[in-house]
Amino acid sequence: MNKYLTKHELEQVTQLLESAYSFVKNGPAPQLEESLLQYATKLKNTMANSAVAYRENLNCPTCDFENNHIIATLTVEDDDSYGTSQIIVNGKYSISARVKYGFRSQGNIHILFSCESGHFFIKSYDGHKGIVFIDENSLMDELVEYLNGFNKNNEDAKWSFDYEILGQIESFFKEQVRKQRLL
Ligand SMILES: [Zn+2]
């Protein structure tokens, strides 16, 4: 299988070439200077002109691992005044919970992933006032923190959805309800 550089890696290589160029600029090696500049410019143009020059994989934000699995989707139903009414997992399991929500939702989807080292993370999309916010959902951030509390080592890593993870998601929301009742 081909190994592609990520966009981030490509940007880093380009930056490195550019700083190398400024280092040798006007120095004793004009040929090196010239070829560095040509190569940096070529890479830069490739990135600017081509959508297929690189592939942007999703890496684990904790350990940068590229092997990740989609575990579940979550959708929040809200009460139209910055609170949740229920959370739907995988489009079919409903968890009733009234907790604070940072959005008056115009549609939302949260995808729960696990890397093969056992770190959970969520990609979050929240429609709100005509804008789609990405990864700005503090409730999902707290859920990730909670779920990661259960996984202490690689053997606990999940590669697919199961009822244990559903139970953990449910217990997180129940705990949130309890906490907010105490406020
Ligand atoms: Zn990881």
pLDDT per residue as tens digits for the range 125-160 = 999 999 999 999 999 999 999 999 986 666 778 889
Judge if 42 and 113 occupy the same domain: no
In degrees and rounded to multiples of 5, residue 122 shows phi and psi of -130, 135
Summarised one tens digit per residue, pLDDT across range 105-120 is 999 999 999 999 999 9
Does 60 reside within a domain? no
Ligand 1 centroid distance, CA of 99 (Å): 29
The CA R_g of the chain, rounded to the nearest whole Å, is 22
Judge if 37 and 121 occupy the same domain: no
Domain count, the chain: 2
Judge if 35 and 90 occupy the same domain: no
Ligand 1 centroid distance, CA of 117 (Å): 5
Q: What tokens appear for 113 in the block? A: 């992933």
Q: Which domain holds residue 24?
A: 7-49
Judge if 73 and 38 occupy the same domain: no
In the predicted structure, residue 72 carries a pLDDT above the cut 70: yes
pLDDT tier at 76, thresholds 50, 70, 90: very high
For 146-171, the DSSP string reads HHHTT--SGGG--SS--HHHHHHHHH
Ligand 1 centroid distance, CA of 155 (Å): 13
Ligand 1 centroid distance, CA of 65 (Å): 5
Ligand 1 centroid distance, CA of 59 (Å): 8
**Distance from chain centroid for Cα 120:** 10
Judge if 72 and 42 occupy the same domain: no
Ligand 1 centroid distance, CA of 67 (Å): 9
Q: What's the Cα-to-Cα distance from 34 to each of 20, 24, 26, 29, 44, rounded to whole Å?
A: 11, 10, 10, 9, 15
Judge if 84 and 141 occupy the same domain: yes
Average pLDDT, the chain: 89
More confident residue, 119 or 44: 119
Judge if 128 and 175 occupy the same domain: yes
More confident residue, 51 or 96: 96
Ligand 1 centroid distance, CA of 21 (Å): 35
Please compute, for residue 71, the number of CA atoms within 13 A of its CA located in the half-sphere on the CB side. 26
